[in-house]
Structure 1
C-alpha cells in the first residue's frame, strides 16, 4: 500500500511540475491568459516550482521501488505527465489555469498590507 501511495504522489507531483513548466512558456501563457498575464516574478516562481516538483518525484519513486526501477519509473511517469499536459493544452487549456496560482502559494511575496514599518 505504501508503494502505491508513493507512486501516486510522484505522478501527481510530476503532473503539477509539467503543467507549471508549460504555463511558464510564453506561447502557452498567451493561450490561457488572454487579458490577465502573470508578472515576470510569477513566471520565475512557476519555473522554480516546476523544477522542484519534478525533482521531488524522483525520491518518491526511489523510495517506492528502489534505485534501479525507481529511476526508470520516474522517467516513465515524467513522460506520461508531459503527454497528459500536452493533450490538456491541446483540447482543454483552461483546465490548467488554476494551477498557475500554485507557484504563488510556494513563493508568496509579503503584501504591503501585512508588513508594517
Structure 2
C-alpha cells in the first residue's frame, strides 16, 4: 500500500509541475484564462523553481519507497504519463487549471 500511495503522490507532483511549466507560456495561460495578464519574470522563475522542486520531490520519494532501480524507472514512466495527461487537459478542459493560475497570481501580488 505505501508503494501505491507513493506512486499516486509522485504522479500528482509531476502533473502539477508540468501544469506550472505550461502556465509560464502565454498561449497556455490564455487558454486557461483569457483575461490572464502576462506573467512577470519573477513569477515565471517562481513557477520554474516550484516545478523543479515537485519533480525532484517525486523522484526522491519514489527512490525511497521503491529503491534505486525501480524508483528511477517508475519516475520516468510517471513523468511521461503526467505530461501526456496534462496535454490532454490543456486540449480538452484547460479551465480545470484555473485554480493553479489564480493561486500563482495571488501569490505573486505583494501590493
Q: Which runs of 5+ in 2 are unaligned?
A: none
Q: What whole-Å deviation, never above 9, does each CA across 1:63-106 have from its counterpart, x for those lacking one?
A: 1211011000000000000000000000101101112245468x
Distance (whole Å) between structure 1 residues aligned to residue 73 and residue 65 of structure 2: 12
Change (3 A) 1:104 1:64: farther
Q: How does 1:4-83 map to 2 (within 5 A)?
A: 4-40=4-40, 41-83=42-84
Asked whether the equivalents of residues 14 and 58 of structure 2 are also in contact (C-alpha less than 8 Å), the reply is: yes
TM-score, scaled relative to structure 2: 0.86
Larger radius of gyration: 1
Bigger share in helix: 2
TM-score normalized by the length of structure 1: 0.82
Task: Give the paired residue count.
Answer: 110
Q: Which runs of 5+ in 1 are unaligned?
A: 113-117
- RMSD of equivalent CA atoms: 2.0
